[in-house]
């Protein structure tokens, strides 16, 4: 298990546009994906994108089942049931006109939560670790989590959706807490 350091906003590496991954995956990239999962579960978080550990590649991991704290803290099942998903070179093929607002947080912006409004449903194409392409529709929490994670691959954070003043206050708080 290799838990990596999670970069905290503001950090220029969180603002890079990530490069696509080529197949077959190299051993290095396989190790990065493993480390991303370990880091996400250790944090704990429901999603982590490669730039959050300083890797500028189009990879994210999520576990939106494990999100439930009842599952996570079940004493009979330490660690909880897991549903690790690996998303490589993801691309949205469609986003709904209908919008939904969810409270979001981010491992790179600790202890900060804010409402963000995004398309309620999305159609996604992505590749798995074997290089197979997949296409699927998502709504509800998974749709939010995926849009949040894939924003990271474009150098975008959820606080970018907030007012400039609010963003400035958050940035100031992060600099104070994590310098
Ligand atoms: Zn995030």
CATH number for the region 12-177 comes to 3.90.45.10
What secondary structure does DSSP assign to 26-83, as a single string? Answer: PHHHHHHHHHHHHHHHHTT-SEEEGGGGT--BSEEEE-SSTT-HHHHT-TTSTT----
**103 catalytically annotated:** no
- Token duo for residue 18: 């990530």
Specify the residue for token string 């959050």.
52
Residue 179: band (very low, low, confident or very high) from pLDDT cuts 50, 70, 90: confident
Q: Express each pLDDT in 141-151 by its tens digit.
A: 999 999 999 99
- Please tell me the distance between residue 41's alpha carbon and the centre of ligand 1 in angstroms: 14
- Please tell me the distance between residue 159's alpha carbon and the centre of ligand 1 in angstroms: 10
What is the rounded CA–CA span in Å between residue 78 and residue 42? Answer: 13
pLDDT of 82: 77
- Sketch the domain layout of the chain as residue ranges: 12-177
Q: pTM for the complete prediction?
A: 0.91
Q: Is 130 exposed, middle or buried (0-12, 13-18, 19+ CB in 10 A)?
A: exposed
Q: Express each pLDDT in 85-112 by its tens digit.
A: 999 999 999 999 999 999 999 999 999 9
Q: Express each pLDDT in 62-80 by its tens digit.
A: 998 765 555 455 555 555 5
Residue 178: band (very low, low, confident or very high) from pLDDT cuts 50, 70, 90: confident
- State what percent of residues in the chain have pLDDT above 90: 82
- Please tell me the distance between residue 157's alpha carbon and the centre of ligand 1 in angstroms: 6
| Structural contact between residues 72 and 79, judged by C-beta atoms closer than 8 angstroms | yes
* Catalytic position from the list 5, 83, 130, 149: 149
- Please tell me the distance between residue 51's alpha carbon and the centre of ligand 1 in angstroms: 10
């Amino acid at each position: 298990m290799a838990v990596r350091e999670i970069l905290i906003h503001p950090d220029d590496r969180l603002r890079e546009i990530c490069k696509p991954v080529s197949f077959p995956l190299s051993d290095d990239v396989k190790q990065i994906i493993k480390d991303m999962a370990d880091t996400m579960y250790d944090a704990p978080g429901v999603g982590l994108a490669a730039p959050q550990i300083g890797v500028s590649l189009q990879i994210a991991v999520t576990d939106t089942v494990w999100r439930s704290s009842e599952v996570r803290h079940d004493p009979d099942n330490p660690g909880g049931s897991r549903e690790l998903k690996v998303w490589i070179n993801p691309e949205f093929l469609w986003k709904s006109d209908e919008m939904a607002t969810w409270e979001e947080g981010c491992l790179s912006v600790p202890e900060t939560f804010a409402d963000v409004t995004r398309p309620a449903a999305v159609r996604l194409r992505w590749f798995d670790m074997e290089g197979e392409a997949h296409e699927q529709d998502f709504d509800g929490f998974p749709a939010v989590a995926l849009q949040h994670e894939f924003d990271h691959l474009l150098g975008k954070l959820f606080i970018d959706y907030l007012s400039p003043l609010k963003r400035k206050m958050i940035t100031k708080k992060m600099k104070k807490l994590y310098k």
